Amino acid sequence: MKACPLGINIPGFIRYLREGSVNEAYSKIRESNCLASICGRICSAPCEKACILNKENAPINIRALERFAGDFGKDKVTRLPISKDSKKIAIIGSGPCGLYSAWALIKKGYRVTVFESLEKPGGVLRYGVPEFRIPKRVLDSDINDIKIEGLEIVPNCFFGQTLSFDDLLQNDFKAILIATGAAIPKYLDIPGVNLAGVYYGEEFLMRVNLMKSNIFSRQIPTFPLGNKIAIIGSGNTALDCARASVRLGREVTLIFRRSEDEMRVKTIERDYAKEEGIKFEPLTRPIEVLASNKNFVKGLKCVRLDYTEQDESGKWQLEEVPDSQFTIEADTIVVAVGHRPNSNIQKFYPSIELDEDGSIMVDADTGMTSLNGVFAAGNVVTNAQPLIRTLGAGKDIADKIDNYLKAQKK
């Protein structure tokens, strides 16, 4: 239970499940997590690593239990008692961190408004994770529950352009939380990445998600997509891209630098991917994207790598194997080699200070940025953390904003 950043009462809800009362189990989870069925699907499950049964045999599959409780349990959701005179808080971004902190704040009795730039709330959960991992139906019902409890969501509002800090201050917002996440792709620097037919992971997933995705295997893709797709990267985004394109009926090769055991995904997901027929090319580095005569992608020139020696920190060094160049035939390439924080907001408000890697600098104790009353949390601060950590950050920042506003009152 300590391992969970949200502090879900894990033994408690499992006890209810054992007794067969799913609804009670769900309300137990919902005491501390409003996105139960989503966490039950894509959480990285630090609780399973900390499970005491690890020593004996295998841990309890807490994630699956949570998913079961989230999907089948029903909880009475009622409007929370929020008085009309309570302070107003604006949250920018309706991703996991934004939603969670909004939920935590309405539970504390504040009036919270979430501003989302796209047409529907959910952020990365809706546009960055494919349908087969989080069905939109589940996401909609979870967000709807939070809405019933009293959260206001304003879609189609691009903060900095449609709306500014001044507008918010005029409307009596006492605190502003920036939770824009980290969804800007890191660029790959090899010749030919600007050819047509090279996508970045986020772009690819967004395009797939924007197509009517519940029937997408039958839909004609609205963007040029070849039959052989090569995907560069080994993270969750890369694997999502690969599995989404398998579902579009394409031939997929996954290219990554490290070995299969070093992939930053859960083993079970890797096995699913293998089962679905994705070809793995471990220990491979792409050198060049080859162009066809029409400026489209024709193939990908790669080189094999091998482990040579350990450096001081114990990390194995990789080096190219001589004369091991080979070409992978592909007509679409998806690059998913990492994210950068989405700190575009700084372009409109230059007084917000950034770190070297582009994340927003915050005070460790108060969670405040260099502007007074403006907070930041989630991946825009910490960059590329798993879902559960960003939810944890949302929980922390809710407490910090609460403290700040209480101190202001005096």
Partner 1 sequence: MFEIVNRQILSEGIKRIDVQAKDIARKAKPGQFVAVCPEEGDEKIPLTIVDTDTSRGTISFIFHEKGQTTGKLGSLPINESIYSIVGPLGSPARIEKKGNVICIATGVGIAQILPIARAYSKEGSKVIGIIGAKSKRKLMLESQMRICCNKIFVATEDGSYERKGLATDIFKKIINEQEVNLVYAIGSVEMMEAVCSVTKEKKIKTFVQLNPVMVDCMGMCGSCRVKVGGEMKHACIEGPEFDGHKVDFKEFKMRTQALEELDECHSHKLQPNPQKKESGPLAKYLWGFLKD
Q: Shortest approach of partner 1 to residue 180 CB, angstroms?
A: 9
Which of 20, 55, 78, 220 is in the footprint of partner 1 by CB under 8 A? 220
Cα(141)–Cα(40) distance, integer angstroms: 15
Q: Shortest approach of partner 1 to residue 328 CB, angstroms?
A: 20
Between residues 11 and 221, which has the closer beta carbon with respect to partner 1?
A: 221
Q: Shortest approach of partner 1 to residue 45 CB, angstroms?
A: 27
Which of 78, 194, 313, 351 is in the footprint of partner 1 by CB under 8 A? 194
Q: Shortest approach of partner 1 to residue 195 CB, angstroms?
A: 7
Residues 6+ apart with CB under 8 A from 287: 190, 301, 302, 303, 325
Q: Shortest approach of partner 1 to residue 313 CB, angstroms?
A: 31
Angle separating helix axes 10-19 and 62-72, nearest 10 degrees: 60
Q: Does residue 191 bind partner 1 (CB under 8 A)?
A: no
Residues 116-175 that bind partner 1 (CB under 8 A): 117-119, 127, 155-158, 161-163
Q: Which stretch binds partner 1 (CB under 8 A): 96-104, 193-201, 251-259, 376-384?
A: 193-201
Stretch 259-298: interaction string toward partner 1, x if CB under 8 A: -----------------------------------xxx--
Angstrom CA distances, 76 to 23, 24, 28, 191, 220, stand at 9, 10, 12, 56, 41
Residues 6+ apart with CB under 8 A from 37: 66, 67, 70, 71, 138, 142
Q: Does residue 2 bind partner 1 (CB under 8 A)?
A: no
# of chain residues touching partner 1 (CB under 8 A): 38
Residue (of 130, 296, 328) closest to 223 by Cα position: 296
Between residues 215 and 364, which has the closer beta carbon with respect to partner 1?
A: 215
* Sheet (strand 88-92) strand order: 152-154, 111-115, 88-92, 173-178, 374-376
Cα(318)–Cα(283) distance, integer angstroms: 8
Cα(102)–Cα(106) distance, integer angstroms: 6
Cα(20)–Cα(23) distance, integer angstroms: 9
Q: Does residue 199 bind partner 1 (CB under 8 A)?
A: yes
Q: Which stretch binds partner 1 (CB under 8 A): 11-19, 301-309, 341-349, 353-361?
A: 341-349
Angstrom CA distances, 251 to 28, 308, 336, stand at 44, 32, 17
Which of 203, 260, 288, 396 is in the footprint of partner 1 by CB under 8 A? 203
Q: What angle do CA 239, 123, 236 make, to 5 degrees?
A: 15
Cα(210)–Cα(204) distance, integer angstroms: 10
Between residues 177 and 198, which has the closer beta carbon with respect to partner 1?
A: 198
Between residues 13 and 115, which has the closer beta carbon with respect to partner 1?
A: 115
Cβ atoms 345, 182 nearer than 8 A:
no
Which of 200, 256, 280, 375 is in the footprint of partner 1 by CB under 8 A? 200
Cβ atoms 398, 406 nearer than 8 A:
no
Residues 58-117 that bind partner 1 (CB under 8 A): 117
Stretch 23-42: interaction string toward partner 1, x if CB under 8 A: --------------------
* Binding residues for partner 1 (CB under 8 A): 117-119, 127, 155-158, 161-163, 183-185, 187, 194-197, 199-200, 202-203, 206-207, 210-212, 220, 222-224, 294-296, 342, 344, 347
